[in-house]
Structure 1
Amino acid sequence: MEFQIKLFVVHLLFLTINSVDLINGQRRSFCCQEYCYDSDKEKTQINYFSSKTSYFIEKRKQPGKEFFVPNCTPEKIWFYVRHGARLPKNKEIKRLRKLEKVRDKIIKNYEKHNTLPKYGEMCDSDLNLLKKWKWDSNITKEYDEHLTVQGWNEVKKIALRFKGLFPDIFKTPYDKEKYLFRYTDADRSESTFQAYVDGLFGSDFDPKSIEVPPGEENNNLIMPYFLCPTDKEETRGNRSEYRKYLESKIMYRLVSDVSERLGFKTPLEPEVVFDMYDMCIYDQAWNPEKTSAWCSAFTPSQIYHLEYPEDLRKYYESGHGRVGNSRLLCSLMNDMLTHLESKTEPKAIVYLTHSSSFLLLLSTLGAYKDAAPLKADNYYSMSNRKWRLSNIAPLASNLATVKYNCPNEIEQEKVMFFLNEEPIEFDWCNMGLCDWKDVKENYKIYTQVNCDEYYCYSGASATAIITKVLIAGVSMSFIIKYAFFHS
C-alpha cells in the first residue's frame, strides 16, 4: 500500500449515530452470514482480492489454441509483465505486526462468550486458525516490498509457458540482437526480471550477462506518470468516488458486522479491520494453496465489498475514469507500435512493470471499459463490471502483443493482444485477431505527437497542479493513511 487512509469520518459515525446497533451495548439478533472459512472447500472469494489476487489461484487453463492463428506465423512479441507476490512496505509491516494483539483480544472474546453474536459467530476451526497465527519475524523493514518465493515462481512459470507457446521467437539462447529487457529500479522489478530470465533461459544462465538500458531511461519509459504531477484530490480526496465509498453505509455496516462477529462490544477502528483484510490477502498471496487465518474474519460477501475500493480508486487513478490517463503512456505506446512495425530485430521485447503502469496501458488501449462509470453508489449494479482488477490485473498479470505474418490473407499483417493468456476482443477486430492497419489507425495519435509534450494533462500547468496537490495534502493529512495496495 502506498498510503493508508484511516477512515476517520466513518469512525465518527460509529460514535455519533444513535441508531447503531453496537453502541451502548445494544445488539442485533444476528450480525453476519453463518459461515466457516476453514471448512469451505471452494473459497471462491479468494479469487477476488483485486490487484493482489494470485495469478494461478483460479487454476487457469493451459493456453494453446488461442495463440495459434491458422496459416499465420508469429514474428514479434511485445510483452508487459507485472511483478508477482511481494512483501509489505515498511509502514505496513509495523501495522500488521500489531495484529497479534488483536488476535489475542479476539480469542479472549470467544473464551468469555458473553460478547459473541447470537448468529454468525466464527466456527471453532476458524478460531483455531487464528490461535495458531503469528507474524513472521523474518519479515523486517530490510526486506520490505521484496519479491517472495511465490512471486518469483509465478513469473518464472509464465515465462516457461510463453517459451512453449512461441518457440520460434523464444527458441534461441540470449542474444542482445534478438531480445530487449527493461525493468524499473525497484528491487521487486529487478527480481521479476531475474525470475523471467530464469524461466526463459534456465537457472544456470546469469541475468547479469544481459544488456539492459540504464535504470533512469527505463523508469521514464515504463513509469512516466511520476514525472507528470496529478491531482490526487480528484482520485482520493473529499469529493472522490473512492472516498465516498469508504464513507458509505456499505463500509460502515461491514466494519460494524466484522467487529461484532469477532466478539467486540463496540466497533473496532476501521483501520484495524482493513489491516486484518490486508493480512488475509498477503497470507493468501504468499501461500495460495494454504488457508489464511485472517481471511476467516470475513464472510464471502464482505470480501467482495472490500474488493471494490481499489477497483474504484484505480479506475480514476489509472483507468477510464479520467480522459487524461490515456496520455500518460504515450511513449510506451509509441515504443510498442514502433517495435511491431519494424522489420528488424529484436524479436522479443519484455518489460517488467508495476500495477499502475499495467492498468494505464489497458485503459490506453481502450480495453475493459464499462458502459457506465464506476461510482461509489453503484456497487451492486457493477457486480459484473469489466474493470475488475481481480480478473484483469492480478499478481504477475501480463499483456502480450503478438505480430503475425499471414501470407494467404488480403491483410497479411495481423496482431493479437493477450491479457493473462486470453485474447482481448476489441470490437474492431475479428475474435481478437486484428488487422495491423487497424491497430495503427486506432492508436495513430501515439506515433504522430511529441510524447514529451503530450503525455501530461492538458488544461492546467504543472505548477497549478502541484499547488492543488499541496493544498489537498494539508486538508487531507488526517485521513491519507489508508489506500489499497499500490505497486
Structure 2
Amino acid sequence: MDPSVLTCLIGVLFVVVLIDAQRRGECCQDYCYNSDDERQQSAHFASKTSYLVVKGPETGKQYVVPNCNPVKIWIYSRHGTRLPESDTISRLSQLGDLRDEIIDNYEKRHSKPTIGQMCEADLNLLKEWQWNRNITANYSEYLTVQGWDELKFLAIRFQRFFPNILENIYDREKFLFRYTNSQRTEASYKAFVEGLFGPNAYQHVEVPPLPINDTLLRPYDYCLPYENKRSKGDGSEYKKFLKSQTITQMLSDVSARLGYKYPLKLQQVTDMFEMCRYDQAWNIDRPSPWCSAFTPTQINDLEYMEDLQKYYKSGFGSKLNSRIQCTAVNDMLHHLDTNNLPKTIAYFTHSKSMLLLLTALQAAKDSDSLRADNYYSMSQRKWRTSKITPFASNLAVVKYDCPNELERDKVIFFLNEIPIFFDWCKVGLCNWKDVKQRYKEFTEVNCDKYFCDDSGASSIFSTIVSVLVPLTSIIFLKLMT
C-alpha cells in the first residue's frame, strides 16, 4: 500500500476514535480551574503572558556582584500589556454566542462529558463573562492600565537597585530614551519615565525624532526577505503541528469538555484561548472565565503552536533572523564600550524585535530545533515565548566596574530581571572583552547592508527596499508639507 494512503487512513481512524470517545462521554483529565490556587498554566500563555508571572525576584540579589559597581545600563523593552488587534477585537466581542451555546450544552442539552467536565464553579465563572464594550477597534493595540504599571514599576525597581545609574532627577546628558511610532510603545516609555522621575515627567524629557529608517527598533519593516518568509505556510513545522494528532486530540477534548458532540473549529478554540490570556493579563489577580475551558495540558499544546511559528519567523529557524538586529547589537556594544554619557539608554519596541535581538545574541537557543515531531521532547525548551517575550519583556545589559579583577570591565545580561547564563560567562558574569569578541561580526560589517543579507537573489530585494523605503518616505513627507 502507498505510504501516503496508509498515513491518510490512520489519520481518519484516529478522528473516528476521537469522535467515538466523545459519544461515550470521555474527554480529558478532571480539572477545576476556579479552585486551582496555583494556575501554573498562566505562565504558559506564549507572547500574551503577563510579565508579573514570569519576571525575576524583587529582592535584587541577582544584581549584586561582590566588589563590583554598576556603571552603565542598556535596556531594550517590549511594550506592556495591550488591547488586541482590531480583527481580534471583532471576533472576541462575539464570543458571547459561543458562551451561551456552552451553557445550553450543560443545562439544556445535557451533553457534558462524564469524565473531564467543567466544574460548577468554572461554569458559573463563564456565565458571568461579558465583553467590555469600551474595547473597540478605535483603541486596538493600545496600552492598558496593567501595561502602564508594568513599565512604571519596572523603572522603580531598576532605580532602586541601580541608584547611581538611574538617578531620580532627569538630566538629558545622562539619559537617552526612544520608542517606535505606536501608541503602546510611546505610552510604555511615558510609564517608565514616570517610574523614574514622577508623574508627567515625560513632558520634560527630550526624545530624538523618529528616524525615517528605524532599523534600531523595527528593522524587520525594512527587510523584504524577512517579510516574505512563510512561517505558517504549507510544509511549515507550524502547519504540520496543526495537522498532528496532538492538535486533533486537543480540539476534540476541548470540545467535549464544553459539551459539544463534534470538534470545534481551530479558530473557535484559539479565540477562546486569546480571550483567556488577554483577560488574565488585564486582570492579573482574578481568574479569567475563558481559561476554564482548558486544562493545563491543552494550554501547553496551544503555547507550543505559537512557539513553533515564532521560532521560524523570528528565531533560530532561519539564518537571516540572527542578522536583522545588527543595528541594535552594535548600539549596545558602542554604548557599553566607554564610560561616556549617557549612563542609561532605554528603548521601547515590540515582541518581534525582542525575539530577533535574543536570536542575534544566541540567547534561549536549544540544542535541537523546534519541530512538529518533537513537541514532547521539547517540554524543557529554552525557546519559550511565555518566558522570553511576555508583555513588557526586557533585556537589560548592565556594565560593572570591578577594580580588583584582572579584567576590570564586566557585563551581565538580564532577561526579564533574570540573569542569562551564557556558557562562555562565569555564572552570568561576562568579561567585556569576551562580549566584544563574541559579537564582533556585528561591529565588523556595515549593518545597513548586513542586517537583511539573505544571500543570493533575495539580497537584491533587500537592496531595493533599503533604497525605496527612505525614498518613498521622503516623497510622502514632501507631499504632506
Structure 1 residues 369 and 25: alpha-carbon distance in aligned structure 2, compared to 1, 3 A threshold: closer
Equivalent runs, 1:275-424 vs 2, <5 Å: 275-424=271-420
2:55–2:418: 8 Å Cα contact kept in structure 1?
Answer: no
Q: Say whether the 8 Å CA contact 1:330–1:446 is kept in structure 2.
A: yes
Residue 223 of structure 1 is matched in structure 2 by 218
The 3-state SS of whatever aligns with 2:347 is strand
| Further displaced range: 51-60 or 440-449 | 51-60
* Residue of structure 1 in register with 2:263 after alignment: 267
Q: 1:234 to 1:410 in 2, by over 3 A?
A: same
Change (3 A) 1:220 1:58: closer
For 2:35, the aligned partner's letter is S
Match of 2:175 in 1: 179
Once the 2 structures are TM-superposed, how far is the Cα of residue 217 of structure 1 from its aligned partner?
Answer: 5.0
Q: What do residues 318-349 of structure 1 show as CA deviations (whole Å, max 9, x unaligned)?
A: 11111211110111111110111133110000
Residue 16 of structure 1: how far off its partner (Å): 6.5
Q: Distance in 2 between matches of 1:448 and 1:464?
A: 21
Corresponding position of 2:139: 143
User: What residue identity is the alignment partner of 1:446?
Assistant: F
Deviation at residue 21 of structure 1 after TM alignment: 4.5
- Contact 2:18–2:249, Cα closer than 8 Å, also in 1: no
Paired residues for 1:153-168 under 5 Å: 153-168=149-164
Q: Does 1:91 align with 2:87?
A: yes
Residues 227 and 428 of structure 1, relative CA distance in 2, 3 Å threshold: same
Deviation at 1:170, TM superposition (A): 1.1
Aligned length: 453
1:211 & 1:195 partners in 2: Cα distance? 15
State the Cα distance separating 1:216 from its structure 2 match. Answer: 2.9
TM-superposed deviation, 1:172: 4.4
Say if 1:24 and 1:63 are closer, same or farther in 2 by CA, change over 3 A.
Answer: closer
| Cα separation, 1, equivalents of 2:18 and 2:99 | 20
Whichever residue aligns with residue 294 of structure 1, its letter is W
1:233 CA displacement: 4.9
SS in 1 for 2:386: helix
Q: How does 1:82-121 map to 2 (within 5 A)?
A: 82-121=78-117
* Cα distance in 2, alignment partners of residues 188 and 178 from structure 1: 25
One of 431, 444, 447 as aligned partner of 1:448: 444
Equivalent-residue separation in structure 2 for 1:60 and 1:452 (angstroms): 35
Whether the 8 Å CA contact 1:156–1:195 is kept in 2: the answer is: yes
Change beyond 3 A, Cα 1:224–1:398: same
| Structure-1-length-normalised TM-score | 0.89
For residues 336 and 19 of structure 2, what CA distance do their matches in structure 1 show?
62
Hey, what does 1:212 align to over in structure 2?
207
Contact 2:19 2:252 in 1 (8 A): no
| Residue 57 (structure 1) shift | 2.2
Q: Secondary structure of 2:76's match?
A: strand
- Structure 2 residue identity aligned to 1:208: Q
Query: Equivalents in 1 of 2:110, 2:60: separation in Å?
Result: 57
One-letter amino acid matched to 2:194 = D
Q: CA deviation at 1:124?
A: 0.9
Letter in 2 for 1:212: V
Instruction: Provide the identity percentage.
Output: 54
- Partners of 1:279 and 1:26 lie apart in 2 by 25
1:233·1:240 contact (CA, 8 Å) conserved in 2?
Answer: no
Q: Give the match for residue 63 of structure 2.
A: 67
1:431 is the counterpart of 2:440: no
Name the counterpart of 1:42: 38
Counterpart secondary structure, 1:80:
strand
The residue type equivalent to 2:440 in the other structure is K
Does the residue aligned with 1:222 lie in a helix, a strand or coil? coil
Once the 2 structures are TM-superposed, how far is the Cα of residue 118 of structure 1 from its aligned partner? 2.1
For 1:89-130, what per-residue CA distance to the aligned partner results, in whole angstroms no more than 9, with x for missing partners?
110011001100000111111112432212111111111111
What CA distance in whole angstroms lies between the structure 1 residues aligned with 2:207 and 2:398? 22
**How many Å separate the matches in 2 of 1:59 and 1:421?**
6
State the one-letter code of the partner of 2:320: G
Tell me the distance in 2 between the aligned counterparts of 1:148 and 1:348. 26
Greater RCO, 1 or 2 (C-alpha within 8 Å, sep 6+): 1
Query: Whole-Å Cα distance in 2 between the matches of residues 342 and 357 of structure 1?
Result: 25
Change (3 A) 1:188 1:409: same
Alignment partner of 1:132 out of 104, 116, 128: 128
Q: Cα offset for 1:168?
A: 0.3
Q: For residues 253 and 237 of structure 1, do their structure 2 counterparts lie closer, same or farther at Cα, with a shift above 3 Å needed? A: same
Question: Is the partner of 1:20 in helix, strand or coil?
Answer: helix
